[in-house]
Amino acid sequence: MLRNYRLRDYDFRLIAYMIAITVIGIMVIGSAEDAYMSRQLMGFIGGLFFMILLSLFDYSVFLKLYWVFYGMTVGLLLLVHFFGRTVNHAKRWVEIAGIQFQPSETAKILLILFYAQYIMKKKESISSFKTILAMVVLLLPPLYLIYKQPDLSTSILIVLVFCSLLYIGGLSYRIILGFLVVAVPVGIIFLTLVLQPNQTIIKDYQQTRILAWLNPDEYSTSEGYQQDNSKMAIGSGQLKGKGLDNEDISSVKNGNFISEPQTDFIFAIVGEELGFVGSSAVIILLLLIALECLNIARKAKDLAGMLVASGMASVVGFQTFINVSVATGIMPNTGIPLPFVSYGLTSLLSLYIGMGIVLNVRLQAERKFV
């Protein structure tokens, strides 16, 4: 599995982007809630270690375990379902050997690895009804288990990544067009139904979040409170922000007007304390990471490598868009972290593990062995 690679083929640019955005995240987490800073730093060090280690393993050999990855995904999510720990009405965490982690975060990466190999093996029949049906059926168990936690935002993210992998894998444009023709009206009908009184499709609090997004004034003191304060914090940062660890009495963060600011609403802290300049830097760095992954995908030696790199680009891109959109009020409030920035050891380690495999895709992109 280990091979001799040329140092000049290593993508130090991607590593630099990841280190830069993670360091910013650690500093902002420390400003938001100092107690979590050292833990995130340890996660960063552990992530770097696993990333470098996995970058030296031949991903083609690694992906032969794709059914093991699928089994691990379903198995871990079943552990959450039966033995998970409930926090804030959501059962998303499980503890093994004294270590608590969130399997839905690892599921994003494991499913990318599974489908990368599965699609490559089925590439000749990717547009056949039998293959598409098989892939959708395989997606349903992990998707259902994540949705029932409940974790609607991660469920939506996984569907978006799955669709991206199908597109990159060569799905017929005719099928894509047909899907869009059906999906758009279905989506409108779904949104209409979930907004009806006494509906049972989604949880009541999820419905309230959508209503608060559509009618912010009506819910400004309840469900819309968090998002309103987030927008206020971002706007108050103006060009250069109020500075990390500031003692400004008008600070939204210092007034504790945003609960758990180190996680889903970390971008509000970025906006308030680092201003437009810092917020732009965070978005640009995450965009550069996604683009670098797509660049690696373009040069990959095979379809599986292309799908792994494209899948990681999709995770970073879609997750960033959703998180920033929630913090700025463009989308309803959903609990999804900002990649590399929000506090969360499972999320951070999973991202670095995925990027380690992407780095190996880059190492094998061109002739490099001696």
Which tens digits make up the pLDDT trace of 110-148?
A: 999 999 999 999 999 999 999 999 999 999 999 999 998
Question: Rounded to an integer, what is the distance from CA 361 to the centroid of its chain?
Answer: 20
pLDDT mean over 197-214: 80
Answer whether residue 339 is part of any domain. Answer: yes
Task: In whole angstroms, give the CA distance from residue 230 to residue 252.
Answer: 8
pLDDT-wise least confident of 188-197, 221-230, 264-273, 342-351: 221-230
Burial code of 289-312, b = ≥16 C-beta within 10 A, e = fewer? Answer: bbebbbbbbeebeebbbbbbbbbb
Residue 178 confidence class, pLDDT cut points 50, 70, 90: confident
In the predicted structure, residue 368 carries a pLDDT above the cut 80: no
Answer whether residue 2 is part of any domain. Answer: no
Structural domain for 63, as ranges = 7-363
pLDDT attached to residue 140: 96
pLDDT mean over 186-208: 82
Q: Which residues pair with 96 in a beta bridge?
A: 99
Task: In whole angstroms, give the CA distance from residue 231 to residue 121.
Answer: 46
pLDDT mean over 90-116: 88
Answer whether residue 121 is part of any domain. Answer: yes
pLDDT mean over 82-109: 83
Element (H, E) at 86: strand 85-87
Answer whether residue 33 is part of any domain. Answer: yes
Q: How many residues does the chain have?
A: 370
Answer whether residue 218 is part of any domain. Answer: yes
Answer whether residue 157 is part of any domain. Answer: yes
CA-closest candidate to residue 85, choices 97, 74, 98, 100: 100
Answer whether residue 74 is part of any domain. Answer: yes
Roughly what angle, to the nearest 10 degrees, separates helices 266-299 and 303-327? 160
> What total of structural domains would you count in the chain?
1
In the predicted structure, residue 204 carries a pLDDT above the cut 60: yes
